[in-house]
Amino acid sequence: MFTVRYIEEIDSTNSELKRQAMKGAPSGAVLVARRQTAGRGRMGRQFFSPADAGLYMSVLFRPVSLTDAGLLTTFTAVAVARVLSSHGVDVGIKWVNDIVADGKKVCGILAESGIHKGQPFAIVGIGVNCNETAFPEELSEIAVSLEQLTGRTWDSRALAEELLAALDEVCPQDPKDPQALMNEYRERSVTVGKQVRVHPHGGEPYDGYAVSITDEGGLVIRTPDDGEHTVTSGEVSVRVQ
């Protein structure tokens, strides 16, 4: 189902695959780079992407229903968590799509969508910190690598293949049993049941309690005035209690 191309260097595998999608690249096209010069994360952030240290991979899904595009990342997070857990790494999913271990991010997922000849497509980018032995100062408190977690070197190509096999099984664009995947996502969540701080896009942060995750992947927050609402975008940080 996937056709993988390995390249040395690119600005961002998501950007390049999007360019290819706009020229008609087929569903299942995958791009893996040794290094990104302008790796991107959510909320306009950079994604630290030095040569050989991490896995930088993007996958093209087409066509997709734009309403379900958000769930692509949710289900991709389940696939990534399954693979890392199968290697004995104790990971959880921090809403919405960070894979964390020891309270730090080991993998980020960035989904982007576009339209080509009237057909929506989605690019899901997966960045795994594999063999970093140290991070820049601004990341050292929030990022961790598989090498730091396990004390051994990881083969990023082998990991890419395992992740693609897991994605094939989950089939995030058209899962056989989305309800079971949502339940697995909930079970793997490290956000539900915690006091959190919500950072809305361009709005003031506020505190609340993460009650549950809806079938659409939204995070239900109870605020101190006992109001409940669902967060569908922005960022949520788990508060140390």
Residues that bind ligand BTN (CB under 6 A): 12-14, 36, 39-42, 45, 47, 56-58, 108-110, 125-127
In terms of CB distance, is 3 or 223 closer to ligand BTN?
3
Q: For residue 197, which of 108, 95, 93 has the smallest C-alpha distance?
A: 95
Rounded Cα distance between 158 and 148, Å, is 18
| Paired sense of beta strands 29-36 and 3-10, if any | parallel
**What are 49's two structure tokens?**
């992407």
In terms of CB distance, is 39 or 208 closer to ligand BTN?
39
**Alpha-carbon separation of residue 61 from 107, 202, 224 (angstroms):** 20, 30, 40
Residue 57 CB, nearest approach to ligand BTN (Å): 6
In terms of CB distance, is 108 or 208 closer to ligand BTN?
108
What is the number of the residue whose Cβ is closest to ligand BTN?
Answer: 108
Rounded Cα distance between 220 and 186, Å, is 12
In terms of CB distance, is 16 or 184 closer to ligand BTN?
16
Residue 233 CB, nearest approach to ligand BTN (Å): 13
**What are 141's two structure tokens?**
């408190």
Residue 179 CB, nearest approach to ligand BTN (Å): 26
Quickly tell me which residue has 């919500």 as its tokens: 198
Residue 171 CB, nearest approach to ligand BTN (Å): 20
